[in-house]
Amino acid sequence: MLADKKHLSRAIAGALVALSITALVLSLVRVEDVPLPPTVKYGMVFDAGSSHTSLFVYQWDADKENSTGVVSQTLACDVQGQGISSYASDPPRAGDSLRECLEQGLEAVPAAEQRNVPAYLGATAGMRLLREQNSSAADQVLAEVTKTMREYPVAFKGAQILTGEEEAAYGWITTNYLLDSFTKYSPRAHAWLRPEAANLLGALDLGGASTQISFVPAGPGLKRNGSSRLTLYGFSYSIYTHSYLCYGQNEVLRRLAKQLIEESPSSSRVAHPCYPEGYHETISLASFRASPCTERPALPDAEVTLEGRGDARGCLAALRKLFNFSACGQSRDCTFDGVYQPPVRGQFIAFSAFYYNFKFLNLTEGQPLAAARDTIQRFCSRSWGDLSASYPQENPARLPKYCASANYILTLLLDAYKFNESSWKSISFQMKAGSADVGWTLGYMLNLTNLLPAEAPAWAKGQAPALWAAAVAFIVLTLALGLAALLLSWL
């Protein structure tokens, strides 16, 4: 009987040893042969501009390159109506205006991932102006936007008003990211390579209420008041950025009209050199109070009719008066209004209203400056009847303003930013790079991925099953060896 017990115990011990060996073998198996698909993260950014709002949905792999996600655009949705700043007198409408695009955005994200999607709203110059004019109204608009966003299954991170310099810097990031200036994958090297710093592009953005310029200047002497320091893909960059509030396209046209009226204070009919011959527009002087860019000095409550003259030269002269070029004196490091700017350098991408105006005039194919000037002058000389017949599909409220907008672009780029006949060739007018829109939102999202932790360190990518299997095998091995030792000691 005792012998049988010893045989049974030895059999059990042998089985446990065999089990231990099996567990040990399992712990050494390369279960990375059973890979998981890469984890994809999503992000949403609302661009709440002065004239309209757009939603962009982005995605990137959780495994990031040098702490910066490789981001691509999944969806773009234009919100119906005007910018959120236009709802200052009825803030709930600002939040409601976002719903249709929010629903479209959620359709672009797997249901299981929606509650983890970071969602942001960035407001630009329109809200900067509203905050300057009525901070309480601006706060109420942002509160209503926040209330609406929190009704949806996303990880809402907040609605904020970007500074002009932030807007400029994020636009610079987007431009260089989309055109592979930061990093580019080399199939031959099987690695991400960094192009030469000289290939970094400058960014020119023209919105409705502000305009921005950003670029890497030559030399190390960048003044602190015009610099932004960014870290992307493991490298740091010092760039010049500046934003000019009230120098966006819509605000410039408003300021131009006010200036022309003030030059003829007793007249109810005022000549407008930038409008086409035969076109007239009646405006209320009280409308100038709607923007801090034109609200002072006070104007009487009256109506004035602006009558087009189709005078390209007079248009340029009138637009130049909106700038204070004398404030710079003889300084080369100055644009206008006494603002510091180092000399422009390198290639530039001009987007937003820069692109849309020149696209309408067929000037986005790299035409030389002389050709651009000639095209704009000939367009400005055409009558309203001619333009209306030639462009029946164009918005009749926008068509008469292309002359003023195009001449403003020439004034801004040549007289203010100091591009010349030679450096004009370095400006490319475009709105897309691949399938993504050029603007500040992608740069914003790209920069924010630095704050979102990767799912796992690089060495563990795709190996979660391996780690779990190894852990289970180790536990089984430990228990088996322990039981075997207990039985042998009992024997």
219 domain-assigned = no
- pLDDT, one tens digit per residue, over 341-359 is 999 999 999 999 999 999 9
Cα–Cα distances (Å) from 315 to 267, 322, 375, 433, in that order, read 20, 12, 15, 33
- pLDDT band at residue 329 using 50, 70 and 90 as cut-offs: confident
88 domain-assigned = no
Residue 219 has pLDDT above 50, yes or no: yes
Residue-averaged pLDDT of the chain: 84
More confident residue, 428 or 237: 428
Residue 322 identity = L
- pLDDT, one tens digit per residue, over 245-287 is 999 999 999 999 999 999 988 789 999 999 999 999 999 998 9
Calculate mean pLDDT across residues 293-299: 77
Residue 478, pLDDT score = 53
- pLDDT, one tens digit per residue, over 11-42 is 555 555 555 555 544 444 444 444 444 478 89
Residue 343, pLDDT score = 93
12 domain-assigned = yes
7 domain-assigned = yes
* Percent above pLDDT 90 for the chain: 64
Cis-peptide, bond into residue 453, ω within 30° of zero: no
Buried b / exposed e across 47-82, counting CB within 10 Å, b at 16+?
bbbbbbbbbbbbbbbbbbbeebbbbebbbbbebeeb
Tell me the catalytic residues: 167
Residue 204 has pLDDT above 70, yes or no: yes
Structural domain containing residue 11: 2-24+462-490
Residue 479, pLDDT score = 54
237 domain-assigned = no
Residue 321, pLDDT score = 97
Residue 192, pLDDT score = 66
- pLDDT band at residue 184 using 50, 70 and 90 as cut-offs: low
94 domain-assigned = no
Residue 468 has pLDDT above 50, yes or no: no
Residue 187, pLDDT score = 67
466 domain-assigned = yes
Residue 380 has pLDDT above 80, yes or no: yes
Residue 435, pLDDT score = 81
Token digits of residue 28: 């050494």
Calculate mean pLDDT across residues 51-77: 84
CA terminus-to-terminus distance, the chain: 14
Q: What is the total count of domains within the chain?
A: 1
- pLDDT band at residue 185 using 50, 70 and 90 as cut-offs: low
* Low-confidence winner among 182-186, 260-264, 304-308, 483-487 (lowest mean pLDDT): 483-487
Output the pTM of the full model: 0.82
363 domain-assigned = no
Token digits of residue 374: 């000639």
- pLDDT, one tens digit per residue, over 446-463 is 777 664 444 433 323 344
